C-alpha cells in the first residue's frame, strides 16, 4: 500500500536537495523507529534484504573456510552473503509441514568450523527458535534470522528478528512493507552493531584527520529517497500484516470445509504473517498431482504456483558446480577450509518433498472478503472436479 505519506516524504527530500543518508533525517529516522518498533537497541539500514544479511555476516567477522548453516528453500540472497565472506554454505533440511529449518538437521550439520546459522522464517511462518538457539548457544554459534518474509511474525510472544543475534529484513516490492528495495538489520549487541555500521559503510569509521578503513566492508548505505518511503511504510506495516492475517483466517475456515485441500500448518502459540498462503492437497483423496491441481486453479483465474523455487537452492548451477569465483571452486576447495563440501539432490529429502507438493496462493494485504471468497470457490470447484473423476 502506498499513499500520501510516501509522496509527502519524497517531496521533502527532493526539495531539500539532500539525497545522501549522512546529514539527512529519513534514513536515521527509519533506523530509530524500526529499532523502537522491534524493541531493539540498534538498527542498520541498507540497500536490500541481501545487503541486510550481508551486513550481519560481515559484522560477525567470520574467517574464510568457516561454515554457515542455511536453508535449502530460500532466495539466493540468503546464500550470497555467506559466499562473499569466503564461508561455505551447509544446508539443513526442513520441517515437513512448517517449511522451516529442522533443529535436528541443524544439529547434525554442525562442525567445529560452524560460525553461524541463518534461520529463514519462510513464507511468514516462524522457525522453531528455542531448540535452534539451545543448539547454537551450546556451541558458541551466532544466529541470524532472515525475516524478509516475516514482518511481525511472532514466536511465543517474541517478534521474529528479536530472538537470535541479528534480525534481517527486506523492503523489496513484494514484502509486507516496501521501498522498492532496501533492507534493515537489527541487534541488541553493541559490538555487533558497531561492526554492522562499519561494514555497511566500507569499514570506514568516519571522523579523524585522515580516512581510515578498519576492515573490509561494502557500500550498502541506504539513501534518503528510500528512507523517506521506508519511514512512511513503517506506519503501515501493522495494518498490512493484520489484513493478511484476517484474509488468511477466512480462507483457512473455508478450506477446512473442502475435502482433499489442506490449509497451512501454523506453529502453536505463534503468529504467521502470510507473505504467501501455502496449501497442500490429499493426492489420495483427489487423485491428481499438485501440479495438475495448481494448473486447474490458475485456469479459474486464481494466481498460484506449485513448487515455489522449483528445486533446492543447492541444486542451482552456481552452488552445485561450486562456481562462485571463476574456475577456482573457492571457497569450497580453499586451503583454509577443513573439508571439501559437495552437494547432492538427496541431501535434504524433506525439502524435495515440500517442493513437489507445496502450492502457493499469492497473497497480499489488499485482499478483501470477496477476493477470498473467489479463491475458496475456485479451490472447492477444482477439488470437487478431481474427486468426481475418481
**CATH number of the domain residue 171 falls in:** 3.40.640.10
Residues 101 and 225 in one domain: yes
Residues 304 and 209 in one domain: no
Residues 178 and 293 in one domain: no
Identify the CA nearest to 143 among candidates 160, 124, 157.
160
pTM of the model: 0.97
* Domain final position from 174, 204, 235: 235
Where are the extended beta strands (E) located within the chain?
42-46, 67-70, 88-91, 114-120, 142-146, 154-155, 158-159, 166-170, 183-187, 261-262, 270-271, 276-281, 304-306, 359-362
Predicted pLDDT of residue 208: 80
Q: Which three-class secondary structure state does DSSP give residue 177?
A: coil
Residues 6+ apart with CB under 8 A from 371: 247
CA 57 to mean position of chain CA atoms = 15
- Rg of the chain on CA atoms, in Å: 22
Residues 126 and 182 in one domain: yes
Residues 246 and 229 in one domain: no
Residues 75 and 22 in one domain: yes
> 183 forms bridges with which residues in the sheet?
46, 170
Residues 208 and 292 in one domain: no
Residues 6+ apart with CB under 8 A from 137: none
Q: How many CA atoms lie within 13 A of 35 on its CB side?
A: 19
Predicted pLDDT of residue 1: 78
* Domain final position from 235, 268, 287: 235
**Matching residue, cell 539443513:** 92
* Domain final position from 182, 208, 235: 235
**Domain coverage including residue 124:** 4-235
Predicted pLDDT of residue 390: 73
Start-to-end CA distance of the chain, whole Å, equals 44
Residues 22 and 60 in one domain: yes
Q: What's the CATH number where 375 sits?
A: 3.90.1150.10
Residues 254 and 160 in one domain: no
Predicted pLDDT of residue 389: 79
Low-confidence ranges of the chain (pLDDT < 50): none
Query: What secondary structure letter does DSSP report for 178?
Result: -
Residues 12 and 77 in one domain: yes
> Is residue 321 assigned to a domain?
no
CA 216 to mean position of chain CA atoms = 25
Predicted pLDDT of residue 289: 98
Predicted pLDDT of residue 209: 85
Residues 153 and 34 in one domain: yes
Amino acid at each position: 500500500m502506498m499513499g500520501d505519506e510516501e509522496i509527502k516524504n519524497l517531496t521533502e527530500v527532493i526539495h531539500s536537495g539532500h539525497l545522501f543518508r549522512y546529514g539527512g533525517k529519513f534514513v536515521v529516522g527509519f533506523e530509530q523507529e524500526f529499532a523502537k518498533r522491534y524493541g531493539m537497541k540498534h538498527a542498520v539500514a541498507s540497500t536490500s534484504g541481501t545487503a541486510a544479511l550481508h551486513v550481519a555476516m560481515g559484522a560477525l567477522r567470520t574467517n574464510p573456510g568457516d561454515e554457515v548453516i542455511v536453508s535449502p528453500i530460500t532466495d539466493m540472497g540468503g546464500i550470497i552473503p555467506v559466499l562473499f565472506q569466503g564461508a561455505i554454505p551447509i544446508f539443513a533440511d526442513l520441517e515437513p509441514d512448517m517449511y522451516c529449518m529442522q533443529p535436528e538437521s541443524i544439529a547434525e550439520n554442525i562442525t567445529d568450523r560452524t560460525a553461524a546459522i541463518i534461520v529463514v522464517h519462510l513464507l511468514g511462518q516462524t522457525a522453531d527458535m528455542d531448540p535452534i538457539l539451545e543448539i547454537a548457544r551450546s556451541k558458541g554459534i551466532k544466529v541470524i534470522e532472515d525475516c524478509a518474509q516475516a514482518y511481525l511474525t511472532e514466536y511465543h510472544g517474541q517478534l521474529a528478528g528479536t530472538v537470535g543475534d541479528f534480525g534481517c529484513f527486506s523492503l523489496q516490492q513484494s514484502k509486507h512493507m516496501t521501498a522498492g528495495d532496501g533492507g534493515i538489520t537489527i541487534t541488541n549487541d553493541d559490538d555487533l552493531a558497531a561492526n554492522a555500521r562499519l561494514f555497511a559503510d566500507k569499514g570506514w569509521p568516519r571522523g579523524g584527520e585522515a580516512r581510515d578503513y578498519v576492515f573490509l566492508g561494502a557500500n550498502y548505505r541506504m539513501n534518503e529517497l528510500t528512507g523517506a518511503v521506508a519511514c512512511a511504510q513503517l506506519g503501515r506495516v501493522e495494518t498490512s500484516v493484520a489484513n493478511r492475517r484476517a484474509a488468511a483466517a477466512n480462507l483457512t475456515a473455508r478450506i477446512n470445509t473442502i475435502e482433499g485441500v489442506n490449509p497451512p500448518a501454523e506453529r502453536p502459540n505463534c503468529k504467521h504473517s502470510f507473505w504467501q498462503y501455502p496449501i497442500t492437497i490429499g493426492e489420495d483423496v483427489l487423485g491428481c498431482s499438485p501440479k495438475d491441481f495448481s494448473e486447474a486453479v490458475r485456469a479459474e483465474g486464481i494466481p498460484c504456483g506449485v513448487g515455489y523455487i522449483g528445486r533446492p537452492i543447492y541444486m542451482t548451477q552456481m552452488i552445485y558446480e561450486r562456481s562462485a569465483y571463476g574456475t577456482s571452486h573457492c571457497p569450497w576447495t580453499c586451503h583454509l577450509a577443513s573439508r571439501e563440501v559437495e552437494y547432492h539432490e538427496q541431501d535434504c529429502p524433506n525439502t524435495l518433498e515440500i517442493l513437489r507438493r507445496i502450492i502457493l496462493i499469492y497473497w497480499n494485504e489488499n485482499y478483501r472478503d470477496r477476493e477470498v471468497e473467489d479463491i475458496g470457490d475456485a479451490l472447492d470447484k477444482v477439488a470437487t472436479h478431481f474427486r468426481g473423476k475418481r
